[in-house]
Structure 1
């Protein structure tokens, strides 16, 4: 039987694997390195980011041209994470700040939280589902991104300071789905 110390060490190693996976996502986006970005997700992972809802590979195909056209560089800074391990599943909430240096030298800044359901498959922790809660943003006018006024983003959840916050949702799921008729403005 494993001792309490062994169990704690195993949990610590699992959490470190999850943090390294989160870092691969950010590095992959900021370096435009598709392989590193995709290594953070299971192939069938569902992602909801801004107006996009779909699989991680398609999210890359949507996000990179937008960032390439709009910014000289991007910086996805990860802040604290809370990791709730539950066997081969983990529910992870990570605060982030985003800064984009736009081509006109202005800055686009935003912050929020990634709500992720990680799954360990074949010994590898990766994101199986992600919801991005954009909680604040500031960009020059006109906003250089295509989702400035997209309706129904609140379907993914609105931040709240109580147990209604989407980070408490178990199982974690995205409220919007691809081909949802309410999202006719969303291109996947």
Structure 2
């Protein structure tokens, strides 16, 4: 029975760890600083090359860097986690889309793809990032290419609190 309990706990730990990048990405895409910051321990350390430092400074850096973008969309790919007691190591593939306004006022689509190299710690039963590094594998910068959707009626992603994600009442079927 003990082996089954160990496997169950390991599966629960992996699930908790694998939700961290999803909440991290939501924090970036919705410009939700508090959500982004909550994924890191207070003494966590980040090394992105363009930013090296602690969790509070990192959350501020991200909000400032992304606030001028028209929109952002991050996708998580392979997510490998190796648990070693109350510590774990991971590699998470990502693609990060950024709609920006270029120097001459034209909208551009920037895509950066790579991997996060992470160390997680479990404290008082909770997993959070203790270390996160971003490794860039490739990037593109192209003219915006979705003008054909203008006036289409599509619902576009927004920032917190305007995004559909936060409009919980709208998700309920109206009474007939």
- TM-score norm. by structure 2 comes to 0.75
Gaps of 5+ in 1: 142-188
- Of 102, 121, 124, 1:122 maps to 124
Matched, 1:43 2:45: no
Q: Is the 8 A contact 2:119 2:131 kept in 1?
A: yes
Provide the aligned C-alpha RMSD in A. Answer: 1.5
Gaps of 5+ in 2: 144-176
- Per the alignment, residue 166 of structure 1 pairs with none
How far is the alpha carbon of 1:102 from its aligned partner?
1.4
| Structure 1 residue ranges (4+ consecutive) displaced by more than 3 angstroms after TM superposition | none
- Of 102, 109, 112, 1:110 maps to 112
- Per the alignment, residue 51 of structure 2 pairs with 52
Q: What count of residue pairs does the alignment treat as equivalent?
A: 139
- Per the alignment, residue 136 of structure 2 pairs with 134
Q: Is the 8 A contact 1:24 1:39 kept in 2?
A: no
How far is the alpha carbon of 1:135 from its aligned partner?
1.0
Q: Counterpart of 2:70 in 1: which secondary structure?
A: strand
Q: Counterpart of 1:62 in 2: which secondary structure?
A: helix
- Per the alignment, residue 80 of structure 1 pairs with 78
Q: Is the 8 A contact 1:100 1:108 kept in 2?
A: yes
- Alignment partners' CA distance in 1, 2:79 and 2:52: 23
- Alignment partners' CA distance in 2, 1:54 and 1:76: 22
1:1-188 matches, within 5 Å, as 2-69=1-68, 71-103=69-101, 104-140=106-142
Rg larger in structure: 2
